Amino acid sequence: MDATGTTDTVDATAEALAAVRANHTLTQQLEALLLVADEPLSAVGLATATDRPVKDVRVALEALAADYDGQGSSTGDSPGSDLASTTPRGFELREVAGGYRFYVRASLDPLIADFVQQQSPARLSQAALETLAVIAYRQPIARGAIASIRAVNVDSVVRTLLARGLITEVGHDPETTATLYGTSDTLLGHLGIGDISELPPIAPLLDDPAEGFDNESL
């Protein structure tokens, strides 16, 4: 593609983005961005994505959180905003690790756990097993580090392992605020061990023990 073609593509993309921002409220844009986020999104990042002032974004986020908690009021920014919500939603918007993210409401955890157990296939895929092994031996570990070791995108696999209750969020990286993952008590129970220190040494299980793993930490 020549320079003219590249410029035309960039212009078309910019026009499409401008149209989306013009035709959708800030609330709608924030909900869409938060819905696809795998990590907490900062107010600054959301302001950049929506091309709106950070102050406006923070106000909208606070209004959304209140609405999801059953304390909604008319903001004039979303369709049907004159109908204040009085019942908490099944999810909530939390501010964690310097950002915002959707979470299932804690009171519904038993329902989710039962549903996942009933719906999930008995066996994990090879990709899930490999990802689970990386987390088990390198925990606490961020999603990006897992992807680097496996050299593939692991977003869907991590979501599956979380849904199955085999891994859990154990904190956030102090520098990047990325979510850190570790094995759950459920997994230890399946493996018949009481602690990760009881896992077998990784070296005998790999053709090249040095690949992707720091032997000194194992």
What is the arithmetic mean of pLDDT over 51-61?
96
Q: Is the pLDDT of residue 204 over 80?
A: no
**Structure-model confidence comparison of residues 13 and 44, the more confident one:** 44
Q: Is the pLDDT of residue 208 over 80?
A: no
Distance CA(62)–CA(56), nearest Å, equals 10
Distance CA(218)–CA(141), nearest Å, equals 14
| pLDDT band at residue 8 using 50, 70 and 90 as cut-offs | low
What is residue 85's predicted lDDT score, i.e. its pLDDT? Answer: 61
**Residue owning tokens 């920014």:** 77
Q: Are 98 and 42 in contact (CB under 8 A)?
A: yes
pLDDT for 150-199, tens place per residue? 989 899 899 989 988 899 999 999 988 899 999 998 888 878 788 888 88
pLDDT for 57-91, tens place per residue? 999 999 999 999 998 764 445 444 444 568 899 99
What is residue 54's predicted lDDT score, i.e. its pLDDT? Answer: 97
4-8, 88-92, 136-140, 204-208: which has the minimum mean pLDDT?
204-208
Distance CA(209)–CA(172), nearest Å, equals 27
What is residue 14's predicted lDDT score, i.e. its pLDDT? Answer: 87
Distance CA(183)–CA(181), nearest Å, equals 7
What is residue 195's predicted lDDT score, i.e. its pLDDT? Answer: 86
**Residue owning tokens 């955890």:** 109
Q: Are 40 and 96 in contact (CB under 8 A)?
A: yes
What is residue 3's predicted lDDT score, i.e. its pLDDT? Answer: 57
What is residue 188's predicted lDDT score, i.e. its pLDDT? Answer: 87
Q: Is the pLDDT of residue 25 over 60?
A: yes
What is residue 214's predicted lDDT score, i.e. its pLDDT? Answer: 47
pLDDT for 86-121, tens place per residue? 889 999 999 987 899 998 898 998 888 788 777 655
Distance CA(54)–CA(51), nearest Å, equals 9
Taken in order of first residue, the domains within the chain and their CATH numbers are 3-105 (1.10.10.10), 120-217 (1.10.10.10)
